[in-house]
Chains A and B, each alone.
Chain A
Amino acid sequence: MADPLIHSRGLTRHYHVGKSTVAALSNVDLTIPHGEFTALVGPSGSGKSTLLNLIGGLDRPSAGEVHVDGLSLSAAAEPQLVRYRRERVGFIFQSFNLLPTFSAVENVESPLVLAEVPRRERRQRAEELLASVGLAQRTSHRPNELSGGEKQRVAIARALANRPLLLLADEPTGNLDTRTGAAVLDLLCNLLKANGLTMIMVTHDPEVAARADRIIHLRDGCIQHIETTRKTEAAT
């Protein structure tokens, strides 16, 4: 097999709270191959989100290193990290984080605006993406005119806009009811397969985690164990 997409060694992140130092993540060695759906599970404060943010280049490790697609995120200069976030990563958040004054289609377009994609082209791509998440009729709606499920679909479309290698989702179904959450998850899984994407998802929900190819259990900032579901093999 080719080089793994994500590879970390001794990945550590400390936070300073007052005078004491809290280890949010310590000594995490991790390898995630291309095209895999990984779930990060564990109780609050186990370091799931910290790990996700480090892989997403939103945060920097205190020690150790993490490579994604050949780029060392711990050593990369700020402009490289900015480009990395812009070109290779799509974020999906629990609270959707849509830009409130932009319409659905403008939200999906926004990463393409940052990437300086010409206007007509980005509008077309945004509309296609909204259609692919089943929101072709809601393009001009503002976030406050959309339901929770619709908002998360817009967010998914936005995360896919710049054709990333890697989707990072932090509890994407956490703010949705079970049925809507399941629908959103189905959509995500289908899009993953269709686009050959790698996804890392933080979740509390064992049912959601069960959909992943691999489940990484974290506790107190360390990997407790890694569970391979082989669900994909069973399904096919």
Chain B
Amino acid sequence: MTVHDQVRTALSNVGRRKLRSALASLGVLVDTLTIVTIVSLATGVRQQINDQFASIGLDRITVNPAGGRRGGFNVYDGFSHKKPITAQDISRWKALSGVTKVIPEINLPGSVGLELRWNGTNQTVRMSGGDGMRGMFFQEAPKPLAGSLELSESGGIILSRGIVQAAGIPTNDYARVIGQTVETILKTSRGETQSFSLRVEGISPERSSDIQVSVTDRIAMKNWWFNSTNILEREGYDSAVIRAADVSRANELSTQLRHDGFQVQSLEMIMAVADRIVTAITLMFMLVSSIALLVATIGIANTMVMAIYERTREIGILKAMGASSREIRQMFMLEAGFIGLIGGVLGLLLGWLLGLGLNQVIQIYLRYRELPVHGRFFLITPTLALGVILFAILIGLVAGLLPAQRAAKLDPLEALRHE
């Protein structure tokens, strides 16, 4: 019997008892549906976690000079970095593939007093970092209330809304603030001061009293503070944030830079933990769905036993005509496999539709809650689709194994006598 004829026969036999075949494949359908739903959810959630972590900064790594942080605030014991971040390093990193941005940072020592003299007021302000971490931790990138939040190379300053309000400027005058000059005054604890004239380039929406100043200007401030002229050349940058094209590239970069001798901080650990949690939950649900698997297998096995009992005489006839035991076994195995396949395809289809619907529901909920989360939570990959179909066929084959073996072993004479 050719394979083609075997397939045809098996299909026509499955079609003979449509209702029974359908009921038998129902078990596989439920099982496939469960697996598709769980795995597609796990895939989707993992993807979401990836995306979210990218948005909270897992695509960024923070590079610090090796050799520990600065020992004291005295300039003379401050050059202990064994591996400083030089300007050359910055430009080298910028040229690496998979790097979208390199933001060098200069931090002023914590003991620096900062005041802002403007519009007749004198405010104590804080220096906030550059835009390296902007948009992290679920925050959408802030929008300027006036001007721009991108600082020019030097001489510019960005004020937060808190400062502008404290200076007594009404909201509709914000636009006029842009271009005005403000005095930023650095004070030491001994009362020495130095004023830096900076031009307002933008107003950020934060309510705090934060100012942002370009790295170039911060270098100038730091030079004054340490009474130096070449602090950058001697000490390098305090840190740098590298933004990678994606999370996995960020992980590669951290490994590479660690190897180069820098201290690298990244959030890859968090990612690994999240991945473990998702995997554990997936496994747990898979365990539950293995009960469905058992039911599916029993369902098909039962159907096959019934079919073989009903067709005992036919098996006898076939054997008398010269069908081998192997052909009889293959015939029933194929039937069982087809029942599995039907269940698998329907289960996959149903799982896909369910995922589609649930994705919609989730989107509506997220929009209602105004959460900045987008994308699909149920994700059926081609691997999952193919895997689940093959698995369904496998269930059928396993369930058909013993009944088919029984059919193959039937004695032709006894089978022919069967009523």
A contacts, CB < 8 Å to B: 53, 56, 58-59, 78-79, 82-87, 89, 91, 93, 97-101, 110-111, 113-116, 158, 162
Contacts and interface: CB of A to CB of B under 8 A. Distances in A.
A116 B327 CA distance: 12
B416 A114 contact: no
22 contacts: A53-B413, A78-B324, A79-B324, A82-B322, A82-B324, A82-B325, A83-B322, A84-B322, A85-B319, A86-B321, A86-B322, A91-B321, A97-B317, A98-B317, A99-B314, A110-B318, A111-B321, A113-B1, A114-B322, A116-B1, A116-B5, A162-B322
B16 interface: yes
Interface string B311-353: 0011011111111110100000000000000000000000000
Contacts of B412: 58
B409 to A, nearest CB: 11
Contacts of B416: 58, 93, 97
Contact of A97 (B1, B16, B313): B313
Given A91-B320, A111-B322, A114-B321, A101 B16 contact: yes
Given A85-B319, A110-B321, 6 more contacts: A53-B413, A56-B320, A86-B322, A97-B416, A99-B318, A114-B323
Contacts of A86: 321-323
Interface string B88-105: 000000000000000000
Contacts of A110: 318, 321
A78 B5 contact: no
Contacts of A97: 313, 316-317, 320, 416
B200 to A, nearest CB: 87
B2 interface: yes
Contacts of A113: 1, 5, 9
B1 to A, nearest CB: 5
Contacts of A91: 320-321
Contacts of B320: 56, 58, 85, 91, 97
B317 A99 contact: yes
A35 to B, nearest CB: 23
Interface in B276-334: 313-314, 316-325, 327
Nearest to A162: B322
By CB atoms of chain A within 10 A, which of B322, B324, B325 has the most?
B322
A87 B321 CA distance: 9
A97 B322 CA distance: 14
A93 B320 CA distance: 11
A33 B134 CA distance: 101
Interface in B371-402: none
Given A59-B413, A97-B317, A99-B314, A82 B2 contact: no
By CB atoms of chain A within 10 A, which of B12, B317, B324, B327 has the most?
B317
Contacts, number: 60
A114 B16 contact: no
A111 B416 CA distance: 16
A56 B1 CA distance: 21
Given A53-B413, A56-B320, A114 B313 contact: no
Contacts of A93: 416
Contact of A114 (B12, B316, B318, B413): B318
A114 B317 contact: no
A97 B315 CA distance: 11
A116 B323 contact: no
A87 B322 contact: yes
A133 B313 CA distance: 25
Contacts of B5: 113, 116
Interface string B1-31: 1100100010010001000000000000000
Contacts of A82: 322-325
A100 B17 CA distance: 13
A59 to B, nearest CB: 6
A173 to B, nearest CB: 18
Nearest to B1: A114
Contacts of A98: 317
Nearest to B416: A97
A85 B322 contact: yes
A115 B324 CA distance: 11
A21 B314 CA distance: 29
Nearest to B6: A113
A114 B315 CA distance: 13
B321 A116 contact: no
B19 to A, nearest CB: 16
A158 B320 CA distance: 12
Contact of B413 (A58, A78, A83, A158): A58
A116 B2 contact: yes
